[in-house]
Structure 1
Amino acid sequence: MYSKFATLTIALPCVKKHKSDSGCTGVRDKTAFVPLSCFDEMTLLSDYRFLEDSGRLADSITRDRHRLPQQKNQKARILRLGAHRLNLQLRLLPNGFTKSRENTTFFNKRECRFYWHVKLLFPESSTEYRERRVPDNRTLKEILTPYIHPTESEPVKRQKLKVYVRDSFDGVRVFMKVENRKCNSMR
């Protein structure tokens, strides 16, 4: 049977070759910049649909808060209660965020102590380490000793972080990123 609408198709080997050569996934980046000279009705429609989808997702999250997994609600509740007990100001990210999923911080009720998930960034050597279950009574010196102490640190880490290795910790400066700032505004 003949159809008046012709459909263009591309052979599967050609599609696979294109994807491997160009790194193309076949899915258009909805957030990619489009210059005004290339902006047309299809781009406008695509942007409109993207905004509609975003609004729909935001609305569904506010409606379905009570449907969050019980385990995550329980963990957040325990962390909040522990912070309140120790008079700490604690802010938690929503469950969908990557940092929230990676965070292994927990509060031990028996010991009345937080065990923190700590991310250590060493910008001079472009190195990042994560420490899990760091008790809240450990000092920065105790946390950094396995990384930058001239004799007590592991040789592999010491070599990677040789810019930071010092005879004493007096010359070491530790900075913490200030959170909840405007986008691209680091402090």
Structure 2
Amino acid sequence: MPETALSPSSLCQQCNGEPRKYRCPKCFMQTCSVSCIQTHKEATGCNGVRDRVGFVAIKEFSDQLLLNDLSFLEEVSQLRGRSNRDNLVTNGHGQKRPSFIKKLQDGCRQPSRMIDLKIMAPGMTKRKMNRSIYDQQKSEVLWTVEIIFGWDGERILRHRVKERSTLEDVVLASIGKDQVRQHRLGRYIDDDSAVFMIAPHASSSPYRRVDRNSTLADAIRSSTVIEYPTIHVARGSEISQFTVTDRLLCVDEVHQGPESSQGSDGGRDSTDQTGSECREHDVIDSDMDNFTIPRLECDPLTR
């Protein structure tokens, strides 16, 4: 049986000797074998990758091309979402900080405060409850403050608390004028032996005892704060449940240098009033996410 002659249009465009079997997705050159494909790529520099946005004539359009286009659009959508998330990465939490949070952190870093404010990832309990802001006009921080009575007793959240407020005033305001609450919690204020403490930022660190007449700004100056300050008030046998630093942070000591504070301590080996010995890396997000508030009462915003 005589062999059928192949037309030039059906031959490999690289060697012109064998029938065409393959078509390059990039330049549509038709070849007969892998060796011809490699030769074509080396000779032309073609990478063999299909141009996913290249023009395709209607007569050449197929169902496969339609599926390819849909797949391409889906990949673009995914890439766009990933790019938006990547652009938000500005710190260890991988989340962008809104401008008001950046202003708050910058205000806390000022020499008059020297507070290392840690902001948690969105969606976490303390992040959602925090309404602290920095008033640039007044150069003042308005804090969200949590007050806890006893070891794990009633918890009250106050918003827009001025940093110049004394701790006693903050606690009094949290109790308010409600007679039931006054009866239940008023003893913590009336008891002169009640201890006011600032909760540590790390579970392994001790609580810092502070003077009830010191301002909130004085109590948390030169310390690390996770979202917002937490004040514990304890009395009687409740105090023994806390690990408290030996030193009482008094109002006068806050405005003195470390040398004068050491002198007034009678040569006693003291713990740094700023709490700088606490390791800020002891706190991780997973720990704080388990931070539950069984009885939370949020007072109206106060200015």
TM-score, scaled to structure 1: 0.52
For structure 2, the residue ranges without an aligned partner over 5 or more in a row are 1-84, 206-241, 244-303
The reply to whether residue 90 of structure 1 matches residue 116 of structure 2 is yes
Equivalent position to 1:116, from 143, 149, 161: 143
Flag the 1:145–1:62 CA change in 2: closer, same or farther, 3 A: same
Residue 171 of structure 1: SS of its match in structure 2? coil
- Distance change in 2, residues 1:175/1:162 (3 Å): same
Match of 1:65 in 2: 89
Tell me which residue corresponds to 1:10: none
Task: State the distance in 1 between where 2:199 and 2:188 align.
Answer: 19
Give the Cα–Cα distance (whole angstroms) in 2 for the partners of residues 128 and 139 of structure 1: 19
Which structure would you say has the larger RCO, counting Cα contacts within 8 Å and 6 or more residues apart? 2
Q: Secondary structure at the match of 1:134?
A: strand
Query: Which structure features the higher share of strand residues?
Result: 2
In the other structure, the counterpart of 1:80 is 105
Which has the higher Rg, Structure 1 or Structure 2?
A: 2
Q: Is the 8 A contact 2:131 2:159 kept in 1?
A: yes
Q: What is the CA distance between 1:182 and its match in structure 2?
A: 4.7
1:172 equivalent among 178, 190, 194 = 194
Distance 1:139 1:112 in 2: 18
1:30-57: per-residue Cα shift (whole Å, max 9, x none)?
xxxxxxxxxxxxxxxxxxxxxxxxxxxx
CA distance in 2, matches of 1:125, 1:90: 26
For the residues of structure 2 that align with 1:62 and 1:92, how far apart are their CA atoms?
A: 21
Distance in 2, Cα, partners of 1:112 & 1:105:
14
Question: Counterpart of 1:95 in 2: which secondary structure?
Answer: coil
Worse overlay, 101-110 or 116-125: 116-125
Task: Give structure 1 stretches of 5+ with no counterpart.
Answer: 1-60
Larger proportion of helix: 1
Cα drift, residue 112 of structure 1:
0.1
TM-score (normalised: structure 2): 0.34
Q: Which amino acid aligns with 2:141?
A: F
Residue 145 of structure 1 aligns with which residue?
Answer: 172
Aligned equivalents of 2:189, 2:104: Cα separation in 1: 35
Instruction: Tell me the matched-pair count.
Output: 119
> How big is each residue's C-alpha offset from its partner over 1:58-81, in whole Å with a ceiling of 9 and x where there is no partner?
xxx888515845xx4312210122
Q: Which residue of 2 aligns with 1:154?
A: 178
Shift, 1:119, TM fit? 0.5
Partner Cα separation in structure 2 for residue 165 and residue 141 of structure 1: 7
CA deviation digits over 1:143-187, x for unaligned, max 9?
Answer: 122456xxx843121122254252xx632211222112459xx84
State the secondary structure of the residue aligned to 1:118. strand
Superposed counterparts of 1:9-24, under 5 Å = none
- Taking the aligned partners of 1:138 and 1:64, their CA distance within structure 2 comes to 36
Percent identity between the two aligned chains: 14
**Letter of the 1:78 counterpart:** K
Query: Which residue pairs with 1:127 in the alignment?
Result: 154
